[in-house]
Chain A
Amino acid sequence: MVMPKKIAVWKFASCDGCQLTLIDCLEELMALGDRIQIAEFREVSRASVEGPFDLSIVEGSVSVPEDVHRIRRVRENSQYLLTIGACATSGGIQALRNIQAADEFVSAVYAHPDYIDTLATSDPIASHVAVDFELRGCPINRSQLLEVINAYLFDRKPQIATYSVCMECKRRGTPCIMVSRQTPCLGPVTQAGCGAICPAYGRGCYGCFGPMETPNMQALTAQLASLGETEEQIRRSLRTFNTNAPPFHEAAEYVDTDD
């Protein structure tokens, strides 16, 4: 008889959307019967079982001083650590504050800035503790999540593609919208995983899954400029859910299209 794997789900700074994707997988997870035991999942239940855990699934970024300690405790108590979503893997949209002084936002937004205790930056989990696997996306893709959990349970390598969104567009049969409509698109520098949804509806890729394996930012930003995008537009398109992912961050900092 196989011992059930103890699974814990932890939330850091995030919108909870990725946890909702996990909830959406509960039917499949429940079908695993006594192979797994959900020890901690606050979004679903107040019940809580003590660690250590076999698998911890972490959503959200490290954003307040308390998070720094909490993520260390999670790591110490977990055999395998899986981070899910753009917040946990790159810092999320809240990492926009990384490029400005955070206290300026705090005083602009909150009536009592003194109540707020925040770190200067919003960080991916992996910049604080070792992570075993990072699952990208804002939000993550349900079947990719099942694949990673499955791979963990059966002790194999997760099959998660790291190539461009273009490959998914072509499999889907969507003609390239940069070529046929001159629509600016981040697909060529973005990792696959969403199934190339936006281009199928005529919208350029927003980069939700972060940088692909070998993104050529210089070549893409030059092409976006030749499609008529201004430097400011290019910068803004890179500064979204994965603003803090190094290739996107650097390209936005140094974008120079000679316009």
Chain B
Amino acid sequence: MSGNRQIGEQYRLMKRSGLDDLIKVLRVLDYRVIGPTESNGVIEFAELGDASELPWGLRDEQKPGSYSVSKGGDRAFEFSNGPTSLKRYFHPTERHLWTVDASGGQLQFEEARVQVPKYAFLGIRPCDLASLDILDQVFLNGVETNRYYESCRQNSLYVAVNCSSAGDLCFCASMETGPTARSGFDISLTELRSSDAYRVLIEIETDRGRSIVNQIDTSEAHENDLSLAREQSDGVARSMGRTLHTWGLRERLQENADDPAWADVAERCLTCGNCTMVCPTCFCTTVEDRASSHDQKYERWNTWDSCFSLDFTFVSGGALRQSSKSRYRQWLTHKLSTWVDQFGVSGCVGCGRCIAWCPVGIDITEEAARIGEPQARA
């Protein structure tokens, strides 16, 4: 039967126990396994000890400004993204850069020695994988290489999960980042929806990935497993909760800086900065000098910042972007438009986090659709 033809060494199948094995193997290899787990009413990335900590049988429901977890299904990856992206692992919220010691009368500079952990990420969504490609542009291919980011990226192992359902706020299909991972992983997993017992299709992309899969209990995958995975993926792409029309968007945003829609959204926006913090690609930081006066040492730290803060554009004489309007416009325009000028791709991967985690539920897809489109305004 042709449908049951074997499909080569790139694909394997595993049962539920395969996930237990996978985590065990990764831990034996000294990886800190970071995967989704439920705590305090959200499904978030955290360090996992074993596969029972995965959010089995849980789903999330996301609306603009609202997020909840409920029971449903019997799989481990039935939810969409949680509030935390992988950004904080590669680009920590605060990082010690160097210390200067003035106690000896002369200034002694010493670079901070920071231990870079060895992470294995389990259950990375295709959109989040794409966000790492974008951060690579920022931290590796820019003027200067961020060495912490570089080492962390090299040390890490990537186990992706292809989405088997789309969330209400997802629009990866619009951004062409999902719902199936195409590159940038060692192994990808697809939970197959079928009447049979729980099965996961494994795709092996790297040698590292293969040597790990070789250590766990798997069986041969067949043509029909792969076509089931493809069908699922097509279904997910068709059921995206949101759409962002990207055609001409770059120009439309840049050419309509005075559109009245900016003032309208500014009335609703809290300028709280949550959207930039939860966004997997926002990378802005500030530097802080931390003084400990008594031993005459100063430490320089790099900490997350946001274009929503006034100090972000502080120059002699004050902040340039005073109005909320100018700050919201900076976020949206950078993300969806000038990012393309700067890095050659959009800064948005369609994960939907900024919509769910905006306390007042401002929806980036709706706002982007209004700018320069008077008829789109209600």
Contacts and interface: CB of A to CB of B under 8 A. Distances in A.
Contacts of A154: 291, 293
The dominant DSSP class at the B interface is mixed
B68 A167 contact: no
Contacts of A189: 270
30 contacts: A31-B293, A31-B294, A31-B295, A147-B290, A150-B293, A159-B288, A161-B309, A163-B309, A164-B270, A164-B272, A166-B274, A167-B273, A167-B306, A171-B304, A175-B40, A175-B44, A176-B359, A178-B359, A179-B357, A180-B40, A180-B83, A181-B41, A213-B309, A216-B324, A218-B267, A219-B269, A219-B270, A219-B360, A220-B360, A223-B359
A176 B11 CA distance: 39
B277 A167 contact: yes
Contacts of B79: none
Interface in B37-52: 40-42, 44
B243 interface: no
Given A180-B40, A219-B269, 16 more contacts: A31-B295, A32-B294, A147-B290, A159-B289, A163-B306, A163-B310, A164-B273, A167-B273, A167-B304, A170-B93, A175-B40, A175-B83, A175-B84, A180-B68, A185-B359, A223-B359
B94 interface: yes
A114 interface: no
B198 interface: no
Nearest to B42: A175
Contacts of B311: 161-163
A220 B270 contact: yes
A150 B299 CA distance: 14
Given A170-B274, A175-B44, A214-B324, A32 B359 contact: no
Interface in B105-148: none
A149 B291 CA distance: 11
B289 to A, nearest CB: 7
A179 B271 contact: no
Interface string A49-77: 00000000000000000000000000000
A188 B273 CA distance: 9
B149 interface: no
- Measured as residues with beta carbon below 8 angstroms from the partner, the interface class of chain A is 35 or more
B278 interface: yes
B268 interface: yes
Interface of B: 40-42, 44, 65-68, 82-84, 88, 93-94, 267-274, 277-278, 288-295, 303-304, 306, 308-311, 324, 356-357, 359-360
Contact of B278 (A163, A170, A215, A223): A170
Contacts of A149: 293
A223 B274 contact: no
Nearest to B40: A175
A153 interface: yes
A150 B304 CA distance: 23
A28 interface: yes
B34 to A, nearest CB: 13
The dominant DSSP class at the A interface is helix
Contacts of A202: 40
Contacts of B291: 146-147, 150-151, 154
Given A188-B270, A214-B271, A166 B94 contact: no
Nearest to A176: B357
A44 B37 CA distance: 50
A173 B84 contact: yes
B347 to A, nearest CB: 18
A22 B308 CA distance: 32
A187 interface: yes
B303 A171 contact: yes
A166 B293 contact: no
A171 B360 CA distance: 20
Q: Which 10 A-B pairs have the closest CB atoms?
A: A31-B294, A170-B277, A188-B272, A163-B309, A171-B93, A188-B270, A166-B272, A175-B83, A164-B272, A175-B42
B356 A179 contact: yes
A145 to B, nearest CB: 12
Contacts of B288: 159
A150 B293 CA distance: 7
Contacts of B273: 163-164, 166-167, 170
A196 to B, nearest CB: 12
A62 to B, nearest CB: 29
Nearest to B306: A167
Contacts of A171: 93-94, 277, 303-304
Interface string A225-238: 00000000000000
Contacts of A187: 272
Contacts of B66: 179, 182
A161 B309 CA distance: 9
